[in-house]
Amino acid sequence: MFESRCGVCCGSCERKEKVKCLGCTIMEKPFWGGDCGVKTCCEEKGWDHCGECPDFPCQMEANMGVEMGFDPAVRLEQCRKWAEK
C-alpha cells in the first residue's frame, strides 16, 4: 500500500508522531504547512503516487531532497514497487 506521493515510506518514519504528521496522502497540506510540489502535482493529476505517472520520474520527483543530502534512488525505487502492485 502506498504511503506518500513521492515514495517516502511514512510508516517507518521515526519523526512522524513528534511532528504530528499523518502522512501526506491523508493530510491536505504537508505536516510543515507549506507546499510540496510533488504532492500537489501528483494529486492534481489524480495519481495515488508518482510511480503511476507516465512522466515518472520527472525532474522534480527525481531531484527532490538531493540538495539536502538525501538519495532519491530509495524513493524512486519505492514508487516503482508500488506501481508493480
Contact set with ligand SF4 (CB under 6 A): 4-6, 8, 24, 30, 36, 38-39, 41-42, 45, 47, 50, 53, 55-58, 60-61
CB of 55 to ligand SF4, least distance (A): 4
Shortest reach from residue 41's CB to ligand SF4, in Å: 3
**Least distance CB 51 / ligand SF4 (angstroms):** 8
DSSP notation for the chain: ----SSS--GGG-TTTTTTT---TTTSSS-TTSS--HHHHHHHHHT-SSGGG-TTPSPHHHHHTTGGGT--HHHHHHHHHHHHH-
Which one, 35 or 85, has the nearer CB to ligand SF4?
Answer: 35
Q: Which residue has the cell 510540496?
A: 36
Q: Which CB, 19 or 85, lies closer to ligand SF4?
A: 19
